[in-house]
Amino acid sequence: MNYWIKNATLVNEGQTYGASVFVSDGKIAKIVGEGEPFDAGNATVIDATGKYLIPGVIDEHVHFREPGLTHKADLYTESRAAVAGGVTSFMDMPNTNPQTTTQELLQQKFDLAAEKSLANYSFYLGATNDNLPEVVKTDPRKVCGIKLFMGSSTGNMLVDKNEVLVRLFRESPCLIAAHCEDEQTIHENTVCCKDLASKDQVVVDASIHPFIRTVEACYKSSSKAVDMAEKFGARLHVMHVSTQRELSLFRNDLPLEQKRITAETCPHYLWFDDRDYEAKSYAIKCNPAIKSHRDKEALLQALRNGLIDTIGTDHAPHLLEEKMTGDYFTSKSGFPSIQHSLQVVMECGVDLPQVVQLMCHNPAMLYQIDRRGFIREGYFADLALVDPKASHQIRNAYEHTKCGWTPYDGVTVSAMVTHTFVNGNLVYENGGFHEDHQGERLLFNRE
């Protein structure tokens, strides 16, 4: 089907301007300036007056839990939540059950997504202490990257043998996406916390999390990863940066295309800080931990000055009872957020062209994704329409994620995604879904 998206305000490549877009055969066929004549034939017309048209968001960092953990989430439900939030492409992590650590298991996930996902997709192969032969077989043109856990988290895929890390940074055929927290530091802090708690010298609740998974734990691991990437020439992307101190590891004096070491942060590190543990409790427990107000403000500034390159959600659903029942040591880390990532970041004081840069353009450039992430003629028509005046309150009752809740419950945001196109197909429209088409596998322009 062809679409004529008329009278939109495009936010694209650092500019905001009026235009209409003709979508045909899954691609952006024509961008028509205001007042320019164009015959759209019998295309379905969508009046975008008063709305922003942006490239679809590319979320490079999600945990959709399939296979093996589908009581929490699955590729179908979470891709629905994604497109409801204007996310048209995602890259999913390997800490499922079984863990995605072989080429065979990786292909099985691609096969599942081809059947179930409304959004475009790619999957990371997970590195372990003993699967380097699988890592080096990865085709960089067809797989987004290698996920390296340098700190344990959900699923515990910790890689802690130095000789393995050396070979991984030397031999990985594509980008290494790293979770950086120092395991020894976390272990020592945990032991100390338990000891103090046994003596009634500390109250162990959600607020203790940034004192267990500390700034030092993050920096010690991130700096090690950066040092190894520099030594061996690896392409490193440090995921979910959460601290001011880590920002010293990155640079903003090069264009993104020339950087070999890059950084991501997440919406929750821009929205919450340690003052929110009292009200939100374990709902905002995640790894790395949400830290201080000063860290939050430093991250926001880093987005503006180019020290941080992308924003990914780390969308990590757990059932609410897995989060809120029990104590600090049994509460699961992570939470769902993909449905609201764009709206929340728009509320964080970053101007919209820069939001688009960080959530659409930069992921496409950083991962070298084929013909996505921009509104350009000949590119895939992955698009989102955003009504900037549709103020509303985020509520659990309207969640599309399978676990049915969000830590942003009760937050009022000023904008709403009204339409999402994936490969030229209208998949989300004013709260409803069109599920006649599945997303496509992302491809990458790498050698």
Q: Is 54 left (phi over 0), alpha (psi -120 to 50) or beta?
A: beta
pLDDT for 156 equals 66
CATH architecture, domain defined by 3-53+378-391+411-433: Roll (2.30)
Is residue 384 within a helix (H) or strand (E), and if so which, with residue range? strand 383-387
| 354: phi then psi, degrees, rounded to nearest 5 | -75, -35
pLDDT for 264 equals 98
Q: Using 50 as the pLDDT threshold, list the residues of the chain that sit under it.
A: none
Peptide bond preceding 98: is omega within 30 degrees of 0, i.e. cis? yes
Q: Kindly report, as residue ranges, where domains of CATH 3.20.20.140 are found in the chain.
A: 57-366
In whole angstroms, what separates CA 293 from the centre of its chain? 22
Return the structure tokens found at 339.
């449905």
| 210: phi then psi, degrees, rounded to nearest 5 | -70, -10
Q: What is the pLDDT of residues 101-123, one digit of tens each?
A: 999 999 999 999 999 999 999 99
pLDDT for 401 equals 98
Q: Kindly report, as residue ranges, where domains of CATH 2.30.40.10 are found in the chain.
A: 3-53+378-391+411-433
**Residue pair 384/56 in contact by the 8 Å Cβ criterion:** yes
In Å, what is the CA distance from 271 to each residue of 165, 276, 297, 411?
Answer: 33, 10, 10, 10
Whether the full predicted model's pTM is greater than 0.95, yes or no, is yes
pLDDT for 155 equals 59
pLDDT for 431 equals 97
Q: Where are the beta strands (DSSP E) in 13-144?
A: 15-24, 27-33, 44-47, 52-55, 57-62, 87-92, 120-123, 125-126
In angstroms, rounded to a whole number, what is the distance separating the alpha carbons of residues 156 and 118? 29
In angstroms, rounded to a whole number, what is the distance separating the alpha carbons of residues 191 and 212? 9
Place of tokens 């590190």: 269
In angstroms, rounded to a whole number, what is the distance separating the alpha carbons of residues 157 and 316? 16
In angstroms, rounded to a whole number, what is the distance separating the alpha carbons of residues 274 and 186? 18
Peptide bond preceding 67: is omega within 30 degrees of 0, i.e. cis? yes
pLDDT for 378 equals 98
Please work out, in degrees rounded to the nearest 5, the angle formed at the alpha carbon of residue 305 by the alpha carbons of 243 and 343.
Answer: 75
pLDDT for 77 equals 98
**Residue pair 237/262 in contact by the 8 Å Cβ criterion:** yes
In angstroms, rounded to a whole number, what is the distance separating the alpha carbons of residues 401 and 57? 17
Is residue 226 within a helix (H) or strand (E), and if so which, with residue range? helix 215-232
In angstroms, rounded to a whole number, what is the distance separating the alpha carbons of residues 293 and 300? 11
The secondary structure of 390-444 as a DSSP string is --EE--GGG--STT---TTTT-EES-EEEEEEETTEEEEETTEE--S----B--B
Return the structure tokens found at 190.
């945990």
To the question of domain 57-366 being in CATH 3.40.50.720, the answer is: no
In angstroms, rounded to a whole number, what is the distance separating the alpha carbons of residues 234 and 176? 8
In Å, what is the CA distance from 337 to each residue of 99, 244, 268, 422?
Answer: 22, 23, 8, 20
